[in-house]
C-alpha cells in the first residue's frame, strides 16, 4: 500500500475545531520547518502502521510548526503520546 503524505486529513467543511470535537487530541510542537517535515512523515507512517483504519479513527493536520492529531479511542491517543 502506498502511503500519501497529505498535509492534513480531516473534514474541511467542518474545520479542525468542529471535526469530532470530543475526540482525544495531542499536539507535537517542532522548532523549524525541516524538523516539522521529518516528524510529519514519521507520524503519518506510525498512524498507518499502528492504528486500525486511520482515515476513520484519526484526524491529523499540520500547522506552521505544529502537528495536531485527534483519536477516536483513548488507548490510541495514549499510545501515540508515549511514542511522540
Name residues whose C-beta falls within 8 Å of residue 52's C-beta, 6 or more positions apart in sequence.
none
Position 55 scores a pLDDT of 85
Is 21-83 a CATH 3.30.1360 domain? yes
Could you tell me the CA-to-CA distances from 9 to 16, 31, 70 in Å, in that order? 10, 22, 10
Name residues whose C-beta falls within 8 Å of residue 83's C-beta, 6 or more positions apart in sequence.
46
42-84 tens-digit pLDDT: 999 999 999 998 888 999 988 889 999 999 999 999 999 999 9
7-45 tens-digit pLDDT: 556 666 677 788 888 999 999 999 999 999 899 999 999
Question: Structural domain boundaries of the chain?
Answer: 21-83
**CA-based nearest residue to 41, from 6, 9, 84:** 6
Amino acid at each position: 500500500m502506498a502511503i500519501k503524505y497529505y498535509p492534513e486529513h480531516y473534514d474541511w467543511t467542518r474545520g479542525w475545531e468542529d471535526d469530532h470535537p470530543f475526540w482525544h487530541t495531542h499536539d507535537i510542537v517542532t522548532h523549524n520547518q525541516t524538523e516539522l517535515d521529518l516528524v510529519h512523515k514519521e507520524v503519518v507512517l506510525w498512524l498507518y502502521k499502528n492504528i486500525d483504519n486511520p482515515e476513520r479513527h484519526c484526524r491529523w493536520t499540520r500547522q506552521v510548526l505544529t502537528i495536531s492529531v485527534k483519536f477516536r479511542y483513548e488507548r490510541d491517543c495514549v499510545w501515540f503520546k508515549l511514542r511522540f
